[in-house]
Homo-oligomer: A and B are copies of this chain.
Amino acid sequence: MTSKETEPRPDEAAARQAYHHGSLSGALVEQVRKLIERDGVADFSIAEACKAIGVSTAAPYKHFADKHDILRHVAQTGFGDLTGAMEQARDGEPKDAVRRIAGMGKAYVTFATGNPETFKLMFGSTPDLKKDDSTRETGHRCFDVLIEEVATFIGADSSAPQSRFQSVLLWTFVHGVASLLIDKDYDAARIPIDPSVLIEEATGRLLQEQR
């Protein structure tokens, strides 16, 4: 019990790691997210995540109900990261609403290409993460960041249907860019794709009302 072969850290931490991990649930979610990015949601295994962390394959079930429950927590951390990235992008742009909106779109796509499998997990429907209230609310908050900016642009209230419809148009396009990019489907177009150009062009056209 005096030996600590893992790391010459504070004695208490090392002593805890002799038997208790200390913060397994957080470490597991983090490790699973890494494995998902490497193997995809369909092919990763929590057994391998356990091996990497150094606990038995039964340990996770003291913290999570099942595999889907772990994925649910991975998705939730993802939504937190995405919302943060969008807010940061918005605040980094000048006070021009159109540029702010386009900037948030780019941040959305950057997150998607940087965390493709997590992104697909977050917005996918299997396993059904939407049943979890807190996960769903975290997702809604993400959309609200866009609505606010759109509302100030068209001079309407955030809760006005007009604001929401306009936001849906923009979100839909940006989500399409993200999806087709991370799945490498733009190959079919056989022209080089610059996401920024795409977003700026579409933002300009979609914010125009036709009649």
Contact = CB atoms under 8 A, between A and B. Distances in A.
Interface of A: 39-43, 116-117, 120, 123-127, 130, 136, 139-140, 142-143, 161, 164-165, 167-169, 171-177, 179-180, 182-191, 193, 198, 201-202, 204-206, 208, 210
A56 B164 CA distance: 53
A112 B77 CA distance: 28
Contact of A175 (B43, B143, B176): B176
A125 B116 contact: yes
6 contacts: A123-B183, A130-B184, A168-B189, A169-B201, A171-B180, A172-B202
A48 to B, nearest CB: 16
Contacts of A184: 125, 130
Contacts of A182: 125
A41 to B, nearest CB: 6
A139 B124 CA distance: 22
Contacts of A208: 205, 208, 210
Given A176-B174, A202-B172, A126 B136 contact: no
A164 B190 contact: yes
Contacts of A164: 189-191
A205 B201 contact: no
A130 B42 contact: no
Contact of A168 (B130, B193, B206): B193
